[in-house]
Amino acid sequence: MDRHFFWGNSVSSMQTEGGWNEGGKSLSVYDIVEPGENRSDWHFANDNYHNYLEDFRLMKDLGMNMYRFQISWSRVVKDGDGEFNEEGIAYYDRFIDDLIAMGIEPMICLYHFDMPLKLAKEYNGFVSRYVQDAFVRYGEEMIRRFSHKVRYWITFNEQNLYSQPLAFRIGGYWQGDKTIDELYHIECNVMIAHARICNYLHANSDAKIGGMVAYSEIYPATCRPEDILAARKWDEFINFNLLDAFAKGRFSNEVMHYVKTKGIDTGLTQEDLDILAAHKEDYLCFSYYASSTISAEPIPKDAYVNYWLQHGGKNNPYIPATEWNWQIDPLGFRDVLNKLYQRYQLPVFPIENGIGVQEEWDGVHEIEDDYRIDYHRAHIKAMYDAINEDGVEVLGYLGWGLIDILSSQGDMRKRYGVVYVNRTNHDLRDMKRVKKKSYHWLKKVIASDGKDLD
């Protein structure tokens, strides 16, 4: 690897910032979530709104040279479609400048599930073209403000999740029957918004942008042909459909034939398809945590492919799982790197990878998280094998939340970090940052540019 390889960390705004009602920020759907037994609210998070420099210093000490963070739409645009909030924009301006001053390359993500509350309540989120337009307006303004100093961008975190039932939770859907037509409206509105942002960025800056998917390898549960077919179709509908749209400017022919024969209304127009065809990607990003399997047997005959994993998902008996039942599969990581690169011949960028584990600090001793070292070692080695043995062009390796943050469910018990943050779901304690055993290991790995994995 050369000196341009990126080592770093990825986060979202609501899992790190806090400051939910400060600096002119309007409400997002996360700001009204009530805490539960195993869930915090999102009001304080890691308090990065007031104090991010300590975390930046830890990243610099680790040797990291990239930080993928998210701009909160609600912080920079009143209610998502109103006036631009200059105080919120100034916060990110300082944030970016402080990153660059420490030698850390910023990567901006524009949306990570936190729909402005008004747009959810009044328009049902990304079901609506109005919300697509509001998002593009916001994204174009962020490009105008920051693309002269931020060279790397993504639009939507894990965009293929909008092809699955989870779309109704993360796309700002407020109420309704959650129909298949609405699912495809969300998926397509998000994709066209992404293409419009790509076209604007390339027309107005020298920055780079790429689409992102959440790539969980899904194997056939058995060698039965029906299971093999189910796994292939899942890959086509959930992964390759969007990856084809990213890299080729058109959706999968199989998926488009399916929606036509099933009478599904995608909401796409010829203008949308022209916008998609005109756009281009500079790289393909993905998150990777685990793999699973699918069995065709329990899938109802009338189930839409986008719902198949809900019915047919099975554990893989050949690989271990975390306490959250996420199955650890470094070879799957290598396979995904190859699927993206060999098929599309664009640089690939794994920008989320990590293991979530329940951990407690006793206030004195270092947390001995050998399991985290083992996880990252195996995945980094798999990445090297993809590079050195398979010829995959990889831009970097970003871990997820390597300073402990709230999980995607708001649960502080699920910790991904090499740095412990001393808070619980309901007790903020002193928020002290404490280095785990894995911190020192990762620092050594980065200093060697990945050569020393012992």
Identify whether the C-beta of residue 108 lies closer than 8 Å to the C-beta of residue 76.
no
CA distance 141 to 183: 28
Give the active site residue among 187, 217, 236, 352.
352
Q: DSSP letters along 208-231, please? A: EEEEEEE--EEEESSS-HHHHHHH
DSSP, collapsed to helix, strand or coil, labels residue 178 as coil
Q: How far is CA 234 from CA 46, 161, 309, 342, in A?
A: 36, 13, 8, 19
In the residue annotation, 158 being an active-site residue is answered as yes
DSSP, collapsed to helix, strand or coil, labels residue 439 as helix
Q: How far is CA 440 from the centre of its chain?
A: 26
Identify whether the C-beta of residue 299 lies closer than 8 Å to the C-beta of residue 312.
yes
In the residue annotation, 182 being an active-site residue is answered as no
Residues in the chain: 454
In the chain, count H helices and then E strands.
Answer: 15, 15
DSSP, collapsed to helix, strand or coil, labels residue 371 as helix
DSSP, collapsed to helix, strand or coil, labels residue 291 as strand
Give the active site residue among 158, 182, 187, 281.
158
Identify whether the C-beta of residue 453 lies closer than 8 Å to the C-beta of residue 377.
yes
Which residues are marked as active site? 158, 352
